[in-house]
Amino acid sequence: MTQKGGRRGSLVADKRYSSSKQASPKAAPKPRKTRAKKPRPPRRHGPIVGAILGLARLIRRIVWGFGWRIAMIVALVVGAATLYFYSTLPDYTQLLDGRTRGSVTMLDDEGKVFAWRGETFGGQIDAKNVSPWLRDAVVATEDRRFYNHFGISPRGIASAIAINLRAGRGPFDGNGGSTITQQTAKLLCLGVTFDPKGWKNEAAYEDDCRSGGLRRKIKEVPYAFALELKYSKDQILSIYLNRAYLGAGARGFEAASERYFGISAANLDPQQAAMLAGLLKAPTRYAPTNDLKRSQDRAETVLMLMHEQGFLTDRQYLDARNNPATLSQAAQKRAGGYFADWIMDTIPDFLSRDTTEDVVIKTTLDQRIQSAAEEAMQSVFDNKVKKDSDAEAAIVVMSADGAVRGMVGGRATKVTGAFNHATMAQRQSGSTFKPFVYATALDLGYTPDSMVDDAPLTVKMPGSPDWTPRNYERNYMGPITLTTALEHSVNVATVRVSEAVGRENVIKVAEGFGFAQNLPYLPSVALGVGESDLLDMTGAYAGILNGGSSVQPYGLTSLTLKGDDQPLFGKPGGIGERVISQKAARELTYMMRQVVLDGTGRRANIDGYDIAGKTGTTQSARDAWFIGFTSDYVVGVWMGNDDNTPLKGVTGGGLPAEIFHETMKRVLDGQPAKPLPAANPAEWQSQPQQYPGQTQSAGGAAPAEPRRQRRNPSDSILKELLGIFGAN
């Protein structure tokens, strides 16, 4: 079908086709509308501000440019120093015991430790094997981030600087913020070992090792890094636990645990561990042997830190806080300080103060007796001496063979290194010398019942004025027995006996017993003008107790190097040569027993026990003594002032006798009573008597010849006296 005009009409399909052909080409994408950036308005700074800002940007670029270079140089230097220190570090076991000197450990007569000298090392311990409470306490107190850092803690250092500045100190004075690794580096002295040629002494070396300040901190950093690279955390902690000083001469936690608690560091409970960890801040100040309460307060702070850091549960914390650690019985007593010092003085320095080995010394000390003496001293001064008195006193307890069982060298009983009045003070002996006068007479044949005339006496002294002795009470008793003369400490009668038996013989007997040397050859020697110390005096009386033989006082029984089986040497003292006969010693013991029963020494008596002794008071009461004995022990007591001024109202029969009484009361407590080795009066009452004077016995018996004459054997004692004293 066509349209008019010869043209064919369009089909619907054609229209669709045409329409589709026109629409097939893609339409051109419409342009994206973008927001035009608004230009920044120019900054309106003045020329001055602009110049300042420009200068600041310049400085920042300069600092950055130099800063990273300097940091790189520092890192290289620190790295090189770290590698150097790393190459010098040995196996960690070689660093556990860093002492330059050895120690001296003293054992009592039962083998128990009672004293240490030098720096004691208790033996190597490992951080893995010690009590976990100890490990946790140290970490909580000293370095809570120990297991998470690489040797230093910038946060800890910054905190320490802030604390120091707030306290008004320099930034590196006081708290140092050191990690355990840094503290270990300091204990190792940054690898510098002690060289006698390079240091004045060990103290100067250690002071340098412990010094602080910025320079020291800088040196510690690479050494701490080297430690972290070389050793594990447990090994570093092990070095620290072994080398730390914890007061009272204890080097390392094992030694401190044994010193303060009498147990190994492996067996510490939380409160004990906290107390030891608390010592690290200031070992001497917080040592429990110096101030237990202060140490317990410090331990409570450590327990709180352990609780806060999760090392203790609430219940464990409360239990530990409510039951603070206390010292072992031996540490509480601190018995035998004077005794230990005396022992150190009796052995060579290379085995004591200067030893490079660990030395073990077995001694004669009886801790029960030592405590008895210390308690007696304290009791008398607390209850019977004026509070403002400066008087000093000393006690020695000894066996008959010279073995020293206890020693107190002064009023302050729990001390170390103090002046020892028992061994160092040379003082006149006064009437405690008189037994040696009578020992001489008895050994020459007189008996306790021999008579002597207590009457005025003047001794002629060629080249010097005549000397006239006086009795203490300024009266005379007339004819008396030797026993009565000693019992009441009669001066004139004693001088008469001394001159009769021979002054030189008296001196010989006294020196034979070890009383003293170089006694003056004067008639006054009989009254104790010669000087001696308490130890020698007590030893001389021990010779009377043992039957008449001299003794050399001793306290050491053996000295052994730690680890050796055989001792280097044994006891240096004991019983020596016989001085007087056993019979004379027994008779003298009888006479000295009467001194305690009815004479000047009555305050020393203890009911139910046999005690013999002698009082002594020197001129103007500058010294007061009492020395006495039971069947087992001799106890010597001295009192006086250090400036040698007279004591006020004190004689040997007073406070010294009471100190003896209090000592022996404690020593004898629970012990069976034993008789003294004293003679029976029946042994001599049937014998003819000799008379150191003009008075004869009621029966008119003539003087008998002495058993053993040392002087003028052909003359009787009566003729001797007449020759010396003329009409007297």
Residues with catalytic roles: 142, 431
Q: Can you tell me the distance from the alpha carbon of 110 to that of 328, in angstroms, rounded to the nearest whole number?
A: 17
Judged by DSSP in three states, 405 sits in strand
Two tokens, residue 379: 């009791």
Q: How many CB atoms lie within 10 A of CB 482?
A: 28
Q: Can you tell me the distance from the alpha carbon of 154 to that of 224, in angstroms, rounded to the nearest whole number?
A: 13
Choose among 389, 445, 372, 414: nearest CA to 637. Answer: 372
Residue 544 contacts residue 439 (beta carbons within 8 Å): yes
Choose among 635, 631, 634: nearest CA to 671. Answer: 631
Residue spans of alpha helices (H) in 513-654: 534-545, 582-598
3-state SS record for 464-484: CCCECCCCCCCCCCEEEEHHH
3-state SS record for 627-687: EEECCCEEEEEEEECCCCCCCCCCCCCCHHHHHHHHHHHHHCCCCCCCCCCCCCCHHHHCC
How far CA 481 is from CA of 454, 485, 493, 595, 636, in Å, comes to 10, 6, 10, 13, 26
Q: Can you tell me the distance from the alpha carbon of 718 to that of 694, in angstroms, rounded to the nearest whole number?
A: 6
Two tokens, residue 40: 């920044």
H/E stretch holding 396 reads strand 392-399
Residue 231 contacts residue 92 (beta carbons within 8 Å): yes
Residues with Cβ within 8 Å of residue 424, at least 6 apart in sequence:
409, 533
Judged by DSSP in three states, 393 sits in strand
Judged by DSSP in three states, 9 sits in coil
Q: How many CB atoms lie within 10 A of CB 37?
A: 6
3-state SS record for 44-102: CCCHHHHHHHHHHHHHHHHHHHHHHHHHHHHHHHHHHHHHHHHHHCCCHHHHCCCCCCC
Phi, psi of 534 (to 5 degrees): -65, -35
How far CA 690 is from CA of 298, 684, 701, 703, 715, in Å, comes to 74, 11, 9, 4, 12
Q: Is 306 left (phi over 0), alpha (psi -120 to 50) or beta?
A: alpha
State how beta strands 392-399 and 569-570 pair.
unpaired
Residue 369 contacts residue 652 (beta carbons within 8 Å): no
Q: Can you tell me the distance from the alpha carbon of 689 to that of 447, in angstroms, rounded to the nearest whole number?
A: 7
Q: Is 165 left (phi over 0), alpha (psi -120 to 50) or beta?
A: alpha
CA 284 to chain centre: 12
- Length of the chain, please? 728
Phi, psi of 668 (to 5 degrees): -85, -5
In angstroms, what is the C-alpha Rg of the chain? 44
Two tokens, residue 269: 């409970």
| Concatenated DSSP letters of 167-196 | TTS-TTSS-----HHHHHHHHTGGGPPP-T
